Structure 1
Amino acid sequence: MESLLDALGIHGWQDGAAVATILGIMVGLLGLFLAGWQLTAQAKLARSEFEDSFSREYRQVVAQIPTKVFLGATLSPQERLAAFRFIYQYIDLCNEQKYLHERRRIGDKTWAEWEDGIMSNLARPELSAAWSYVAHHAVRQKENGEVEKEFESLRRVVEPRVYDGNTAYLPPPVNISDLYTSYVSATPSLTGVAWQVST
């Protein structure tokens, strides 16, 4: 009866060494495959956790915006002033999400869901007016004299409607280069201003 080694055609130590080398290579390749699979799994988990952090931030920001905004209502001038910093944060968050998707940090499936929500929300009257206001004022002058529009990523998702200064959403920001800090808190000089609420 032929031995297993003879059946495999291994007749000496040199053939055995060759088999051991082949087995070593196979084990090494298997190890590389498993390491690659583990890295891929870890990358997916890291991306998922990263995306989840944006979902948490979204919930925190929109919790500060009056619910009626998401139901299609507009805010009174006083409500608008009080809510503007959160609306601005929402617009900024949307821009950041699009920017990160463009850099492949946000997955396509997640982005498709977020994009749908962004488009839906920014079509609502109050948020549409706020986006128009922010987009109009969020420009800066470069040293070479060119004007640069900020929120470029979000502009590629939802083009803001043309801003109508005659029906001002809010008074122009105190510091046009920094909209957010202009309305972080309601200042007495702004609370007495009469606005026409744009819809």
Structure 2
Amino acid sequence: MIIDWGVVSSAATAVGSLVTALGVGFGAWQIKVGKEQAQATFEDSLDQQYRSLSMELPVSVLIGEPVEESDRNQVRELIYNYLDLSNEQVYLRAKGRISKHTWTSWSQGIKLHLAKPSFAEVYSEIKDKCDFTYLNRLVASDFQSDPKSWYR
């Protein structure tokens, strides 16, 4: 039996190329999965900030009822902190750091909160005094524009 070393060499090169391509594909997949996991962790940390703030607010405020006079200053400060977090969320979406799926949920939540009397009152009071540029722009668009499209 005569071995054609040219054929063997070509087959070995083809197998090597295939293995390299599979390795590159697997590496790219790992990078994509890692990026998605990092983004989910980042978004979860912002969700946790929201949950911490909302747990401090009286339920009556969260369901749109008036603030008790004795709670007014504390609630006002918590709502301000919520508005600051919301502005940060809009900014992060504008910079492409927040996924479309998460943004859809967050923007609806912001819209619902700003429709509640206590939130609307504090927002109205501070919107021209504070640098909530991103939140102001979202509200001005009636929540219709995606901040990610603002800087393309």
Q: Deviations over 1:44-101 (max 9, x none)?
A: 1111111111111101011111211121122244422122221111001111111111
Counterpart of 1:100 in structure 2 is 92
Q: Which amino acid aligns with 2:137?
A: R
Q: Which amino acid aligns with 2:125?
A: Y
Task: Tell me how far 1:107 sits from its aligned partner.
Answer: 0.3
RMSD: 1.7
Identity fraction in percent: 32
Counterpart selection for 2:47 from 34, 55, 60: 55
Kindly tell me the number of residue pairs found equivalent between the two proteins: 140
Larger Rg: 1
Counterpart of 1:156 in structure 2 is 137
Counterpart of 2:83 in structure 1 is 91
**1:116 & 1:88 partners in 2: Cα distance?**
18
Q: Deviations over 1:147-197 (max 9, x none)?
A: xxx1111112224xxxxxxxxxxxxxxxxxxxxxxxxxxxxxxxxxxxxxx
Q: Taking structure 1 as the reference length, what is the TM-score of the superposition?
A: 0.66
* Structure richer in helix, relative to its length: 2
Structure 1 alignment gaps of length 5 or more = 139-149, 160-199
Counterpart selection for 2:108 from 116, 119, 123: 116
**1:80 & 1:62 partners in 2: Cα distance?**
15
Structure 2 alignment gaps of length 5 or more = 141-152
**1:86 & 1:124 partners in 2: Cα distance?**
14
SS in 1 for 2:84: helix
Q: Which amino acid aligns with 1:12?
A: D
